[in-house]
Amino acid sequence: GLGPEGTHFASTHHLGSISVRKSKDTVCDRNIISLVGKCFGDVGMQYKQAEVSYRGLYWYPPAGFTEWHTDGHHVEGWRVYFTDIDEEGGSFFASWRDGQATRVPDRHGQANMFRVVPSSPLWHAAASETSQRFSMGVAV
């Protein structure tokens, strides 16, 4: 894998980006899962275990993106993705609803929240044009 010792990076449907594999096999994953548990506990979480509520950690370098997709195959519920960037205006979260695309420019410390409803999937994507974009997803 790439990255420091004890981390494993695997590409998923995130083209041009790198995601930390969701597992308990690495120091990086265990630390992130522990942090999710400490920050949120089990109050208001969709799942009682932090390792299940943690949805992933993603890095988008400049020109990195994830293509349009839905999370319709996932369990219904709210998702929040915490985003940090090194340059405001250089990346965004996009969604498609009722025949119209909406682009939300990323800001430092932003949280994007949406509901996963398998019967009414939300098409969405994320892209970094010029900034380093990091995001972490949690099922709440």
Could you tell me the two tokens for 70?
A: 């839905």
Q: How many domains does the chain have?
A: 1
Asked, for residue 3, whether it belongs to a domain, the answer is no
In this predicted structure, the answer to whether residue 11 has a pLDDT above a threshold of 90 is: no
Residues 60-70 have a mean pLDDT of 87
Calculate ∠ Cα 21-27-28, nearest 5°. Answer: 50
Asked, for residue 127, whether it belongs to a domain, the answer is yes
| Total-model pTM | 0.68
CATH of residue 121: 2.60.120
Q: Closest Cα partner for 136 from 58, 70, 49, 48?
A: 58
Parent domain of 76: 9-139
Residues 55-63 have a mean pLDDT of 83
Asked, for residue 1, whether it belongs to a domain, the answer is no
Confidence label for 78 from pLDDT (cuts 50, 70 and 90): confident
Residues 110-133 have a mean pLDDT of 88
